[in-house]
């Protein structure tokens, strides 16, 4: 059975392509999901692509990944800077975690420079646009393969 990679997206990412396209670009989350699914097929893995505006739902998905996930790609969006709960859930996950941000958070407001998720992440990709998801998926496959 192919390895399963969770791709988790936080609040407001459902508005990708419509919300501040000068920062986040014009691609939609459906476009990102399509591109990740195509790459996953090439890499021989499956993806579970999920988005929620609710912190508790994201935590529940991380818990689920403990049972069947080989790795997690996560764009926690605003929860990056606020959620100890997501950090704690990720700390309970044994596989690799890659944090993704579409924009370069380090060129933005000061509060965006701190990430709770980075304390657990095995890698962070920021400022590469939606291509960051595909870069993260490739990295997860590399890391998950080395842990097999």
Q: What is the CA radius of gyration of the chain?
A: 14
Catalytic site residues? Answer: 24, 101
**Inter-residue contact 77 to 9 (CB < 8 Å):** yes
CB of 119 within 8 A of CB of 108? no
DSSP code of residue 49: E
Q: What are the helix (H) ranges across 44-111?
A: 55-68, 84-91
């Amino acid at each position: 059975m192919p390895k399963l990679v969770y791709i988790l997206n936080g609040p407001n990412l459902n508005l990708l392509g419509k919300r501040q396209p000068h920062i986040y670009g014009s691609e939609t989350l459906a476009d990102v999901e399509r591109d990740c699914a195509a790459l996953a097929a090439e890499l021989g893995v499956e993806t579970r692509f999920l988005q929620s505006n609710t912190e508790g739902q994201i935590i529940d998905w991380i818990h689920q990944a403990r049972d069947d996930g080989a790795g997690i790609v996560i764009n926690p969006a605003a929860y990056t800077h606020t959620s100890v709960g997501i950090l704690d859930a990720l700390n309970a996950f044994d596989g690799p975690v890659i944090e993704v941000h579409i924009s370069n958070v380090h060129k933005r407001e000061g509060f965006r420079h701190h990430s709770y998720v980075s304390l657990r992440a095995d890698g962070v990709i920021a400022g590469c646009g939606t291509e960051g998801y595909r870069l993260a998926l490739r990295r997860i496959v590399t890391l998950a393969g080395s842990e097999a």
